[in-house]
């Protein structure tokens, strides 16, 4: 469900109460743990945490590098953790830590889905956000790009 909101506040205001409360709680965790340099904005129809183009303009699609995002979809809510999904090692560590929480591990392409706030290990989400400073994400993206180029 892509939103036409232009601010996080507008996005949140358009959600049903239960989803707004859950998304706000996850947003608070993200903002509390967000390393310096990332910006919160609306992009791709969701609340997005990204590296501004002014900081890193050399992207393959001329769009800012997305680090994380929050969205309310039709049948679930999602935390997109693109910053860890560009690294096999980081993704594997996250999955292992997530499964150790005992919570249902429901993932899609670069996202963790949840139906209610209790389904999500908020401490792990905060730790995951805090663990990827902007420079590390840029390095991971550049390493991945180099690997793709060398396979051609």
143 domain-assigned: yes
Strand, helix or coil at 66?
strand
Q: Name the residue among 27, 23, 41 with its Cα closest to residue 129.
A: 27
2 domain-assigned: no
CATH of the domain at 69: 3.90.1150.200
Please state, as a whole number, how many other Cβ atoms lie within 10 Å of the Cβ of residue 7: 12
Domain enclosing residue 138, as ranges: 8-150
> What's the CA gap between 81 and 43, in Å, rounded?
15
Q: What's the structural domain count of the chain?
A: 1
58 domain-assigned: yes
3 domain-assigned: no
Each of the 152 residues of the chain gets a pLDDT tens digit; together they read 567 888 999 999 999 999 999 999 999 999 999 999 999 999 989 999 999 999 999 888 899 999 999 999 989 999 999 888 888 888 899 999 999 999 999 998 789 999 999 999 999 999 999 999 999 999 988 887 644 444 44
Please tell me the pTM assigned to this model: 0.90
């Amino acid at each position: 469900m892509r939103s036409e909101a232009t601010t996080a506040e507008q996005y949140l205001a358009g959600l049903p109460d239960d989803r707004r409360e859950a998304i706000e709680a996850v947003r608070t965790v993200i903002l509390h743990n967000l390393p310096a340099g990332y910006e919160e904005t609306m992009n791709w129809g969701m609340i997005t945490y990204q590296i501004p183009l002014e900081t890193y303009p050399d992207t393959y699609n001329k769009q800012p590098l997305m680090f994380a995002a929050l969205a309310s979809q039709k049948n679930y809510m999602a935390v997109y953790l693109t910053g860890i999904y560009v690294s096999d090692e980081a993704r594997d560590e996250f999955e292992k830590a997530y499964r150790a929480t005992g919570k249902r591990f429901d993932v899609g392409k670069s996202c963790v889905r949840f139906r209610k706030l209790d389904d999500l290990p908020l401490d792990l989400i905060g730790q995951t956000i805090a663990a990827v400073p902007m420079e590390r994400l840029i390095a991971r993206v550049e390493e991945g790009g180099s690997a793709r180029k060398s396979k051609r």
